Amino acid sequence: RKEVEQDPGPFNVPEGATVAFNCTYSNSASQSFFWYRQDCRKEPKLLMSVYSSGNEDGRFTAQLNRASQYISLLIRDSKLSDSATYLCVVTSLTASKLTFGTGTRLQVTL
Amino acid sequence: DTAVSQTPKYLVTQMGNDKSIKCEQNLGHDTMYWYKQDSKKFLKIMFSYNNKELIINETVPNRFSPKSPDKAHLNLHINSLELGDSAVYFCASSREQGNTEAFFGQGTRLTVV
C-alpha cells in the first residue's frame, strides 16, 4: 500500500463548479498535512496546511480526519487558473521527510 | 530574491558523464532535501539533510552523492549518468526536519541521451 494515495483524475469541471479531492495516508503517526499545487513544468507550491479543526482560505477548504486517515480539499467556484495538479503531502517527525501523493489533476474548462 | 534556487534549470548530457546540480536557500532553514520527479510525475524523496548532516538516504544508488558545505547549500553530484536518471530533480528546504512545510526550487530537468 502506498503511504499517501490520491485519485489521479483527471477531474474535468466547468468554471464555477465545486470540486473535492480526497487523500488517504497509511502512517497513523503522521503529524502534519498539506496540500500543494503543481503547474505543468513548475515546482510544487504550498497551497495550504491542513489542521485538525479544518481550515479555509478563500475558495479553498481543507479537512483532516485522523480517525479515518484521510484529508480532503474542496474548491468552490472553480476558475480556469485552478487547473493544475494537487498534491497531498504528509509528514512525521520521525520520518524527517515530506511524503507526496501521486497528485490529482484538475482541468477547469469554459 | 528567490528563496530556493537551483542551477542549472536544464541539463542535457550523454550517458556515462558526471554532472552536478547546485542548490541554495536563503530562508535560514535547517533542513534541505532532494526529490526526484519521474516521467509519471511522482515526487520521491532522495536525500534529507539537517544542519549539514545526512538524515535520509532513500535507497539511492551510490552514483548519487549529495554534499552540504553549509546549511544553506545542498548540492547533488551524479556519476556515470544512466538513461534512467532522466527526470526533474527538485531541491527543497524546510524550517525543521519532518513536520513543517517545504519550499521548492524551480527544478532541474535532466535528460540523459
Residue A94 reports pLDDT greater than 80 = no
Most confident of A27-36, A47-56, B80-89, B97-106: B80-89
Q: B53: exposed, middle or buried (C-beta count within 10 Å: 0-12, 13-18, 19+)? A: exposed
- Closest by CA to A61, choosing from A101, A20, A24, A32, is A20
> Which residues lie closer than 8 Å to A2 by C-beta, 6 or more apart?
A26, A101, A102
Which grid coordinates belong to A27?
502512517
Confidence of residue B96 (pLDDT cuts 50, 70, 90): confident
pLDDT at B56: 84
- Report yes or no: B72 at the A interface, CB cutoff 8 Å: no
The alpha-carbon gap from B53 to the nearest alpha carbon of chain A, in Å, equals 12
Residue B1 reports pLDDT greater than 80 = no
Q: Do A44 and B41 touch (CB under 8 A)?
A: no
- d(C-alpha B101, C-alpha A44), whole Å: 11
Least CB–CB distance from A92: residue in B41, B45, B98: B98
Confidence of residue B110 (pLDDT cuts 50, 70, 90): very high
> Whole-number mean pLDDT of chain B?
94
